[in-house]
């Protein structure tokens, strides 16, 4: 009998994995017993896996057991499926956690959920909402009163922030006020009944600012079946693809498979899917073997990453990415050219040749007849497409370029962490260590005593080739095992070095002729710096390595793991399963890192954050 080729086996394995848990939204309304069963499933997952539970009770002033009983009683009341979905979302939002979210995969069948939108998409701009584009399926004629680059100032007579607080925040709350407004403002204009309430009226009154003029308009809500909307979205994507000469079926299959993979694997984040899809740009087919190899390397330490919700609903994040990929099918751009699309870049710069993953340059400034050099590096993620070894090599070469620049070297460096959602714990810790010529203090971590972390420490205690590293891993695992058997929820506080013995080392390139060459660093950041970005920032702050400019970081201090699925509704929940602890004993969760110089960073997206980046340059003078 012929053996099945490995590639086919891999394809079968992946499709079997995906098919095994794709549950459409139920057709009929769930009965009381089914709703209670799903609410019990949700609470059991939280109790068994959510690390900050007791901490959240303390800082937010609720009694979890009382709250659970209240929601179980609410689940018993007569309600539609969509009302029950909102109840579950509301329960999760009570935890006020950037990593914690609930989501439902959209059914391909009609009659299961609804979609409401006004036809345009955009983002927060200060206190307002900036219109950037119209949906592919929406015809924006000259008669429509809202135009691209308009600012929406009011929503039904309320400020944009007041509207977010009233309509959206009860169902999604990341625990950081500014981050809530940044993430959730777009959801005022595009809603799915799987996660948000549908509009209460047929139209909405908006106050619009266009240049120096401000005026009021009333526009109708477009409300339709979610499956029908998805079909029209798919057709619009196909038209874009056809106009660019791209095989729409092949590209669509890639996007759909990756989107579905995020719905079945505990360590696949939205960020992983977006990076995987981007890496397929220009390739004729999906290399399933390569994808499975990438997935096999995922573990809890790779998921210190904020899963930003899509403006179009969770699964439309991937269609949105797909469209971006199609529109980006142009000649490849270099790091600096790509950087200029999103960031202000001064005119007189020297790009760092080695900086491929994280664009970097040296800017020359002249003041009072004197010239000075300032370095800049943008770190947009801690889970880049390139392998860790490549990224670390590039990062070290970038810092070395700064050190050796000109006659005296670059002493001042701006590190741009704006919108960095986190990623790999190990990569982020290694990069933080490389910013110093001497050993620095690493944060502590407390781990949820559950399968994810217990399995990870058990593997570490047996897989190290180095005996010393193996022994260092065995000790915490044995302690955790004993605590687990005694019914404890959280581990002791272990240094990050415990996870990576001997791997977090200072930068020996920062020492020359027995003299340290450490940089003066300014970090520009905002409320969307989350998870590993929170941790990276806290390390620089705790060790007095940097001054911070911008907004307080999100305070999503831990890793996120996906849990599947509620037996009747098919809901998935993502939970924080560790806590990061500072040297003072304070949790990073819901605290983040506070800036030394505060700036409302979200006001400067139009100028590609020129004012914020310049403030970083200026503070180092």
First to last CA, the chain: 74
Q: Tokens 């960073």 appear where?
A: 601
Q: What is the model's pLDDT at position 250?
A: 64
Confidence of residue 325 (pLDDT cuts 50, 70, 90): very low
Q: What is the dihedral of CA 276, 282, 288, 294, to 10 degrees?
A: -30
CATH class of the region 336-435+519-555+592-621: alpha beta
Of 102 and 407, the one with more pLDDT: 102
Residue-level pLDDT at 61: 97
The arithmetic mean of pLDDT across residues 33-59, rounded, is 98
Estimate to the nearest angstrom the gap between the alpha carbon of 342 and the chain centroid.
Answer: 18
* 297 vs 176: which has the higher pLDDT: 176
Report the pLDDT averaged over residues 308-315: 49
- Highest-confidence segment of 16-30, 105-119, 273-287, 569-583: 569-583
Q: pLDDT value at position 334?
A: 92
| Highest mean pLDDT of the ranges 331-345, 513-527, 539-553 | 539-553
Q: What is the mean pLDDT of residues 106-114?
A: 87
Q: Do the bridges between strand 520-525 and strand 515-516 make them parallel or antiparallel, or are there none, so unpaired?
A: unpaired
pLDDT grade for 147, boundaries at 50, 70 and 90: very high
Residue found by looking up tokens 């935890």 in the block: 95
| Predicted local confidence at residue 5, as pLDDT | 44
Residues 409, 366 contacting (CB under 8 angstroms): no
Q: Is the pLDDT of residue 329 over 80?
A: no
pLDDT at 544 over 80: yes
Band of the pLDDT at 137, cuts 50, 70, 90?
low
Mean pLDDT of the chain: 87
Query: What pLDDT was estimated at residue 9?
Result: 37
Closest CA to 79 of 42, 111, 32: 32
Confidence label for 238 from pLDDT (cuts 50, 70 and 90): confident
The ranges assigned to domains in the chain are 227-327, 336-435+519-555+592-621
Region 392-400: mean pLDDT is: 97
Residue 196's pLDDT band (boundaries 50, 70, 90)? very high
pLDDT at 422 over 90: yes
pLDDT score at 269: 78
Residue 497: pLDDT over 70: yes
Helices 451-463 and 467-485: crossing angle in degrees, nearest 10, is 150
pLDDT band at 255 (very low <50, low <70, confident <90, very high): low
pLDDT at 246 over 90: no
Residue 362 or residue 302, greater confidence:
362
Mean predicted confidence (pLDDT) in 407-434: 95
Quote the tokens at residue 377.
């590096």
Q: What is the pLDDT of residue 469?
A: 76
Residue 435 has pLDDT above 50, yes or no: yes
405 touches 350 (CB < 8 A)? yes
Asked if 311 and 187 touch (Cβ cutoff 8 Å), the reply is yes
- Assess whether pLDDT exceeds 90 at residue 298: no
In this prediction, residue 134 has a pLDDT band, given cuts at 50, 70 and 90, of: confident
Lowest mean pLDDT among 87-91, 116-120, 233-237, 584-588: 233-237
- 154-163, long-range: CB < 8 A, 24+ apart: 154/205, 154/206, 154/207, 155/188, 155/204, 155/205, 155/206, 156/204, 156/205, 157/205, 159/127, 160/124, 160/127, 160/128, 160/129, 160/185, 160/188, 161/127, 163/188
Q: Which of 14-18, 183-187, 390-394, 460-464 has the lowest mean pLDDT?
A: 14-18
**Per-residue pLDDT at 618 exceeds 50:** yes
Share of the chain above pLDDT 90, in %: 63
3-state DSSP call for residue 516? strand
Mean pLDDT across the stretch 52-80? 98
Q: Which residues pair with 225 in a beta bridge?
A: 114
Lowest mean pLDDT among 64-78, 107-121, 173-187: 107-121
When comparing pLDDT for 525 and 308, which is higher?
525
Can you point out the beta strands (E) in 481-599? 494-495, 511-512, 515-516, 520-525, 546-550, 560-563, 572-576, 578-581, 597-598
Beta bridge partners of 546: 521
Contacts of 291 (CB under 8 A, 6+ apart): 14, 258, 261, 276
pLDDT score, position 312: 43
pTM of the model: 0.91
Residue 352 is predicted with a pLDDT of 98
Q: What is the mean pLDDT of residues 480-486?
A: 95
The yes-or-no verdict on residue 561 having pLDDT over 90 is: yes
- pLDDT in the model for residue 513: 54
Alpha helices in 244-269 (DSSP H): 248-261
Task: Quickly state the pLDDT bin for 369 (edges 50, 70, 90).
Answer: confident
Residues 6+ apart with CB under 8 A from 390: 357
pLDDT band at 76 (very low <50, low <70, confident <90, very high): very high
| pLDDT-based confidence at residue 353 (cuts at 50, 70, 90) | very high
pLDDT computed for residue 481 by the predictor? 94
């Amino acid at each position: 009998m012929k053996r099945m080729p490995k590639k086919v086996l891999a394809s079968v394995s992946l499709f079997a994995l995906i098919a095994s848990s794709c549950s459409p939204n139920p057709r009929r309304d769930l009965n009381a017993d089914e709703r209670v069963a799903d609410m019990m499933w949700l609470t059991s997952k939280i109790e068994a896996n959510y690390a900050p539970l007791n901490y959240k009770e303390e800082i937010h002033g609720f009694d979890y057991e009382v709250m659970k009983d209240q929601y179980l009683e609410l689940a018993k009341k007569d309600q539609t499926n969509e009302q029950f979905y909102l109840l579950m979302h509301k329960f999760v939002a009570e935890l006020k956690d950037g990593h914690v979210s609930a989501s439902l995969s959209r059914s391909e069948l009609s009659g299961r959920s609804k979609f409401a939108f006004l036809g345009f998409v955009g983002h927060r701009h200060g206190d307002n909402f900036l219109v950037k584009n119209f949906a592919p399926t929406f015809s924006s004629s000259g008669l429509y009163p809202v135009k691209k680059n308009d600012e929406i100032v009011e929503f039904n007579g309320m400020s944009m922030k007041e509207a977010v607080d009233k309509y959206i925040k009860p169902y999604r709350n990341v625990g950081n006020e500014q981050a809530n407004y940044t993430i959730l403002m777009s959801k005022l204009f595009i809603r799915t009944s799987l996660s948000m309430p549908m509009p209460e009226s047929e139209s909405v009154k908006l106050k619009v600012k266009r240049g120096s003029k401000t005026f009021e308009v009333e526009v109708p809500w477009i409300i339709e079946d979610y499956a029908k909307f998805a079909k029209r979205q798919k057709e619009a994507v196909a038209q874009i693809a056809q106009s660019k000469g791209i095989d729409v079926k092949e590209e669509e299959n890639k996007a759909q498979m990756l989107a579905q993979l995020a719905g079945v694997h505990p360590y696949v984040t939205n960020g992983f899917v977006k990076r995987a899809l981007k890496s397929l740009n220009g390739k004729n087919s999906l290399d399933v073997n390569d994808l499975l190899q990438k997935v096999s390397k995922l573990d809890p330490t790779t998921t210190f990453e904020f899963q930003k919700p899509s403006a179009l609903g969770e699964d439309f994040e991937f269609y949105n990415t797909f469209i971006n990929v199609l529109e980006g099918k142009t000649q490849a751009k270099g790091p600096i050219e790509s950087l200029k699309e999103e960031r202000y870049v001064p005119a007189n710069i020297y790009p760092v040749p080695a900086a491929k993953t994280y664009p970097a340059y040296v800017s020359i400034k002249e003041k009072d007849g004197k010239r000075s050099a300032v370095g800049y590096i943008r770190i947009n993620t801690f889970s880049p497409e390139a392998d860790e070894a490549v990224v670390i090599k590039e990062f070290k070469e970038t810092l070395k370029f700064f050190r050796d620049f000109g006659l005296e070297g670059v002493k001042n460096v701006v590190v741009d962490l704006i919108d960095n959602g986190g990623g790999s714990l190990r990569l982020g810790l290694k990069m933080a260590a490389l910013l110093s010529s001497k050993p620095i203090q690493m944060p502590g971590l407390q781990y949820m005593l559950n399968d994810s972390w217990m399995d990870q420490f058990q593997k570490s205690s047996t897989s190290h080739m180095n005996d010393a590293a193996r022994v260092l891993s065995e000790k915490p695992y044995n302690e955790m095992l004993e605590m687990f058997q005694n019914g404890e929820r959280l581990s002791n506080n272990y240094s990050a070095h415990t996870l990576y013995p001997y791997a977090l080392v200072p930068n020996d390139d920062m020492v020359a002729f027995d003299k340290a060459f450490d940089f003066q660093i300014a970090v520009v950041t905002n409320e969307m710096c989350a998870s590993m970005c929170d941790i990276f920032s806290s390390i620089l702050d705790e060790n007095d390595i940097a001054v911070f400019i911008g907004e307080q970081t999100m305070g999503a201090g831990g890793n996120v793991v996906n849990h599947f699925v509620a037996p009747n509704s098919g809901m998935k929940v993502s939970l924080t399963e560790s806590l990061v602890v500072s040297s003072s004993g304070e949790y990073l969760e819901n605290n983040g890192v506070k800036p030394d110089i505060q700036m409302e960073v979200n006001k400067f997206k139009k100028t590609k954050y020129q004012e914020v980046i310049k403030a970083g340059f200026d503070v180092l003078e």
